[in-house]
Amino acid sequence: MAFPRRPLGATLALLLGSCFGAWPVAARQERPGLEGGLEGKGGGGGGGRRPEGNEPPVWGDEGGGVSGELPEGDSGEASSSSSSPFFQPAAGNAGLGMMGMMGMASVGASASVSPSFRGPGNRDRRPNQELPIVLWWSGSLFPHFPGETERIDCRRGSCLSTKNRRVRLHRRTRALLFYGTDFRAYEAPLPRLPHQAWALFHEESPMNNYLLSHPPGIALFNYTATFRRESDYPLSLQWLPGLDYLRRPPPFSLAQKDRWRTTRRPEEEGKEVEDEEGGGGGGPGLAPVLYVQSHCDVPSDRDRYVRELMKYIQVDSYGKCMNNRELPSMRLRDTSTATTEDSEFMTFISKYKFHLAMENAICHDYMTEKLWRPMHVGAVPIYRGSPSVRDWMPDNHSIILIDDFGSPKELAEYIDFLDKNPDEYLKYLAYKKPGGITNQFLLHNMERREWGVNDMTLPNYLNGFECFVCDRENDRINAEKDHKKTRGKLPAPEPRIAQFTHMGCPPPAPGYGNIEDIPAGDSWKEMWLQDYWQSLDQGEALTAMIHHNESHQGKFWDYMHKVFLKRTQQN
């Protein structure tokens, strides 16, 4: 039975190639802990379609088994397929073309398989021996169990899905699926075969792999599923379970929250509450603003901004970063117990009027639980993250954007104004009223979303992207056949290469102030700027290796050295 699962830590990768001619290299353009208990993952539902039929998936042409060994090196029978390559290296590298057509031997012995299943509307009656193969190179994301291989029946056609890397050189292996967080240029499977597409699945933070934020890095792939709306299979709303999640009435009234502002918490009776950060913490009750974070020193440099904001308004800061107050119970202080949806934790944060909601990296459409969770519990997010976040909000007056203010002092003055004017504050919660969600863009995207978040009745987005790739590859196979059958009267499939907008994120910038004002030796400056720009060099090095039909990963650092020397000469 197909049953999607979400492994600890998160998600996967994209596809690439060109049909004729040289590899088109784009012009150069310019990591989690307790966060609300945990800065972990959500998203991904259960589901999957119920299996039908009893034909086991097989690789070779012999009955229900797998025979022979995976072809290696330059051996192997030439492919009977005359498909035009989806990826073609630079001219003069014909050897890769030959290798792309090799791999005719059956795949290694005794592959483990699961029962096949058939989705609605699929009329694909091909036996498993004829189906294209999609290979989850990042096997931990393989969304089926038990076993390592399963037939998937998607809208327009069927494929065999596997995590068995021994099929990489097989002639029917049409796509490799990668998880962006795990993708490393120096570990890429080489040589790059011209008949195979690469697919990228990356729903996590840009900071996990800045290689994908540069044109040479993202252009390695043909298909993408990322948080960007421009990607082929967008995951922008991966952290929003549904509209009812936003509509949930606040658990506490505004009057109750105001009382907690002036009443000492029971667990703090008889204790002195230290004020370690100037205006942060202290006072007899709760501060107006909550900050919960244990993932410090991130690309967005959020702590630097919070430190300055604390000079002008009270902020209760929990966790390891900027801590000036303890969580109310030992259970919540234990990061293995307190999760982002823990009921005790959710009740606790519901008492605050404002939540600092700051992503660990800045990029269009990168929005996490830090944004949606405050709205769920009836607080007002003070947000920095996606510059285009307003496009996704339930109405035009539901969050406070940090970047709308010229300084932390100006922001603090506005928060203080709302804190003292309940009518103005409540305007930010109007979307919770019946009919209050008026953003048609949000409504439309939620309506057309085919996967669920923590919903066992809907498919997981891993299954969804897998089928997206399967359908596109079946389309490409059919187009190749038509091109051959008509002797070129019908065109060959167009090259498909991921664009910068599918993932591209800007360089890290200081959370407050100018980069020139940050002293040498600052950990943020040394870590994240270097990581961002070194990732560009890695993308260029891997692209050059593919152009030169390299098959040995050990040469990667030689290519990196060449890129470095070229960059030095240009400067």
Q: What is the pLDDT of residue 120?
A: 52
Q: pLDDT: is 86 or 439 the higher one?
A: 439
279, pLDDT greater than 70: no
Among 198-202, 212-216, 233-237, 456-460, the least confident range: 456-460
Q: In terms of domains, do 317 and 258 share one?
A: yes
Residues 513 and 303 sit within 8 Å (Cβ to Cβ): no
Q: What is the end-to-end Cα distance of the chain in Å, rounded?
A: 57
Q: What is the mean pLDDT of residues 460-465?
A: 94
Q: In terms of domains, do 337 and 481 share one?
A: no
Does residue 552 form part of some domain?
Answer: no
Distance between CA 239 and CA 461 in Å, rounded?
Answer: 12
Q: What is the mean pLDDT of residues 213-230?
A: 98
Q: What is the mean pLDDT of residues 334-347?
A: 74
Q: What is the mean pLDDT of residues 327-352?
A: 81
191, pLDDT greater than 90: yes
The secondary structure of the chain in percent helix, strand, coil, rounded to multiples of 5, reads 35, 10, 60
Q: What is the pLDDT of residue 509?
A: 96
Work out the pLDDT band at 60, boundaries 50, 70, 90: very low
Q: In terms of domains, do 327 and 468 share one?
A: no
Query: How far is residue 519 from each of residues 115, 509, 511, 513, measured CA to CA in Å?
Result: 60, 14, 14, 12
Does residue 394 form part of some domain?
Answer: yes
7, pLDDT greater than 50: no
Q: In terms of domains, do 402 and 474 share one?
A: no
Instruction: Mark 540-569 as b/e (b = at least 16 C-beta within 10 Å).
Output: bbbbbbbbbbbbebeebeebbeebeeeeee
6, pLDDT greater than 50: no
Q: Show the tokens assigned to 537.
A: 């060099």
Q: What is the mean pLDDT of residues 543-563?
A: 95
Q: What is the pLDDT of residue 338?
A: 53
Q: What is the mean pLDDT of residues 331-337?
A: 70
Does residue 357 form part of some domain?
Answer: yes
Domain count, the chain: 2
Does residue 31 form part of some domain?
Answer: no
Residue finishing a domain among 423, 446, 469:
446
Residues 277 and 322 sit within 8 Å (Cβ to Cβ): yes
Nearest to 151 by CA among 111, 106, 115: 115
Q: In terms of domains, do 407 and 335 share one?
A: yes
Distance between CA 402 and CA 313 in Å, rounded?
Answer: 14
Does residue 164 form part of some domain?
Answer: yes
Give pLDDT tens digits for 74-126. 223 333 333 334 443 332 332 322 223 222 233 333 333 333 444 554 788 99
Does residue 251 form part of some domain?
Answer: yes
Instruction: Give the neighbor-by-neighbor strand order of the sheet with 400-401.
Output: 315-318, 289-292, 354-358, 380-384, 400-401
Strand boundaries in 9-154, DSSP class E: 133-136, 149-153
30, pLDDT greater than 50: no
Among 184-193, 272-281, 543-552, the least confident range: 272-281
Q: In terms of domains, do 247 and 223 share one?
A: no
Q: In terms of domains, do 203 and 249 share one?
A: no
Other beta carbons less than 10 A from residue 111's beta carbon: 22
Q: In terms of domains, do 230 and 266 share one?
A: no
Q: In terms of domains, do 188 and 118 share one?
A: yes
Q: In terms of domains, do 385 and 404 share one?
A: yes
Give pLDDT tens digits for 402-422. 999 999 999 999 999 999 999
Q: In terms of domains, do 296 and 333 share one?
A: yes
Does residue 526 form part of some domain?
Answer: no
Q: What percent of the chain has pLDDT over 90?
A: 65
Q: Show the tokens assigned to 506.
A: 């800007």
Does residue 369 form part of some domain?
Answer: yes
CATH of the domain at 425: 3.40.50.11660
Work out the pLDDT band at 72, boundaries 50, 70, 90: very low
Q: In terms of domains, do 285 and 434 share one?
A: yes
Distance between CA 306 and CA 13 in Å, rounded?
Answer: 34
Q: Show the tokens assigned to 513.
A: 């102030």
Half-sphere exposure of 466 (CA within 13 A, CB side): 33
- Residue 146 domain boundaries: 94-237+458-507
